[in-house]
Structure 1
Amino acid sequence: MATVLAFDVYGTLIDTHGVVTELEERLGKTGKGEMAAEFSRRWRDKKLEYSFRRGLMGAYVPFGQCTREALDFTDRALQTQLSDVDKDHLMTVYARLPAFAETTGALERLAATGMRCVAFSNGTREAVEGLLEQAGIRERFEDVISVDEIKRFKPDPAVYAHLRNRLEVPPGDTWLISSNPFDVIGARHAGLHAAWVRRSLDAPFDPWGIEPDLTVTDLDALSDRLG
C-alpha cells in the first residue's frame, strides 16, 4: 500500500506572510507601514488561538471567520485603524497567497516516487481548493481533506482520525507534513508519522516529549529524505 503524505496548507505549502507587502501599503496610509511584519505575525497567531479556543468551547465556525475575527483583533491591539474596505481587501489577499518557492518541484518529485499526496487543512474545502488552484499546485493533490467535514479543528484527535478514515490507510502508512509544531504533536499523539518543516532556524519545538519523526528545513529537503 502506498504511503500517504497529508500536507498542512497554511504556513507549510502556502506562505502566510505573503500578505506583508499588502499590509505595508494599507498600514502606510496611517503612517504605520513599518508594523506590517508584526501585524502579519500577530494576525496569524491570533487566528490559531481563536481556532483552539473555539475547539475547546465546542463553538466551531469556518476557519475564515477565525481569520477575520483575528484581523479585527490585531487591528484593535496595534491601533492601526484599518477601514472595513482595507480589511475586506486583506481577506481577499489572504485567499490568494503564494506557495513557497520550492513547493511545486518538491511535490512533483514526491509524486514520482509513487507516494499519494493530499492537502489536509483547518480551512474549508472551498477555501483550500481556491488557494491551491491560484497557487498552481491543486493538481499535485489527489484530494483535499478539511476539518470542516467534522466541525473540529486541529489538533483535536478526531481530526486525525477523520483523516485516516477518509484515506482508508493504516496510521503507519500516513504522514502529516506541517510547519506547525502543534499539528505535528497532534498527529504523533494520534498515532501518525509526522514531519516538521522548520522553515525558520529560530523556531523552537514544543518540549512535550513528543518529537517529529523527521525534521526538514523545506519541502525540497523533505523530498530528498522521503523520495
Structure 2
Amino acid sequence: MTIKTCIFDAYGTLFDVSAAARQAATEPAFAQIADSWATLAQDWRQKQLQYTWLRAVTGAHDDFWQVTQDGLDWAMEAAGLQDQTELRQRLLDLYWELAAYPEVPAMLRALKDAGYETGILSNGSPKMLAGAVESANLGDTLDAVLSVETVGVFKPSARVYDLVGERFGTRKSEVLFVSSNGWDAGCAAGYGFVTAWVNRAGEPIDRLPWRPAHVLTDLQPIPEIAANA
C-alpha cells in the first residue's frame, strides 16, 4: 500500500477549537469566563458537532458558520451568558483566527518535502477555512482546501469523502485521512481511507463498525505513518 495524499480534518485537528474561548478569557472585558472558559468551549464544540449530524440526517443543511453560531448560543445560555452580546461577538471573531496546534506547520512541511499531496476536508465553509488557513500561515503547505459546501451535506456522508478522489484522482487506499474526531476517523475507515485518529484528550474509542488504523496523541508521527502505511 502506498500513500500519495494526506488529508486532514480542520477544526480540532489542525486548528485548536478551544483557542477562541481561552483567548477571550484572558481579556479583562470578559473576566466572567476566566474560570469557566473550558466548559464553555467544550459545550460549544459538542453542540456544533451535534447540529451537523442532525442537519445531515434530516437534510436541513446550512453552512458551518450558522451551525457554529447556533452551538455558541446554546453553550452561552447553558452558562447563563445569553445576554452577553459583546462576549458572543468576541468569541465569534476569534473563531476566524484559531491557532494551529504547535506541531502542525512542521508536520505539513515534512509531508510536502517528502512529496505527498496535502489537503483539508472539512465541515467548515470556504470563507471560514480560508480565514483559518491564512491566519495560521498554512497556505503554502496545502494543495487543496475542500469544504462540504460543495455537496451540501456534513460528514460523515460518503459524498463528502468522495471529494478527495474527485480532487486528487487517488484511490481510497492511497489516502491517509487524519481527524481529531473518533467518529470521523472511524467512518472514513469504513469508506476505505487509511485513517489516523488524533486523540488529544485520551477519549475511549467510538463504538462503530470501523476503527482507525492509527491512534495518536498529536500529529508529529503523521509523516512516518504515511511513509510506512
Answer whether TM exceeds 0.5 for this pair.
yes
Distance 1:161 1:31, change over 3 A: closer
Paired position in structure 2 for 1:96:
97
CA distance in 2, matches of 1:207, 1:51: 19
CA distance in 1, matches of 2:30, 2:169: 51
How much has 1:65 moved relative to structure 2?
Answer: 0.4
CA distance in 1, matches of 2:195, 2:3: 16
CA distance in 1, matches of 2:146, 2:29: 38
SS of structure 1 residue aligned to 2:18: helix
Given that residues 3 and 175 in structure 2 are in contact (C-alpha distance below 8 angstroms), is that contact kept between their aligned partners in structure 1?
no
CA distance in 2, matches of 1:147, 1:114: 26
CA distance in 2, matches of 1:26, 1:43: 19
Given that residues 161 and 190 in structure 1 are in contact (C-alpha distance below 8 angstroms), is that contact kept between their aligned partners in structure 2?
no
Post-superposition CA distance 1:155-181 (Å, at most 9, x none):
112111232222221111112111111
Give the root-mean-square deviation of aligned CA atoms: 1.9
Paired position in structure 2 for 1:211:
211
Q: Give the number of equivalent residue pairs.
A: 226
Uncovered stretches (5+) of structure 2, i.e. residues with no partner? none
CA distance in 1, matches of 2:188, 2:11: 16
How much has 1:32 moved relative to structure 2?
Answer: 4.6
Percent identity, aligned pairs only, is 27
SS of structure 2 residue aligned to 1:220: coil
Task: Report the more deviating stretch, 139-148 or 217-226.
Answer: 217-226
How much has 1:29 moved relative to structure 2?
Answer: 4.7
Uncovered stretches (5+) of structure 1, i.e. residues with no partner? none
| Aligned partner letter, 2:77 | R
Paired position in structure 2 for 1:11:
12
Superposed counterparts of 1:94-173, under 5 Å: 94-173=95-174
Paired position in structure 2 for 1:191:
192
Given that residues 185 and 210 in structure 1 are in contact (C-alpha distance below 8 angstroms), is that contact kept between their aligned partners in structure 2?
yes
CA distance in 2, matches of 1:23, 1:207: 35
Q: TM-score, normalised by structure 1?
A: 0.92
Task: Report the more deviating stretch, 159-168 or 104-113.
Answer: 159-168
Task: Report the more deviating stretch, 69-78 or 160-169.
Answer: 160-169
Q: TM-score, normalised by structure 2?
A: 0.92
How much has 1:80 moved relative to structure 2?
Answer: 2.1
Paired position in structure 1 for 2:84:
83
| Aligned partner letter, 1:217 | T
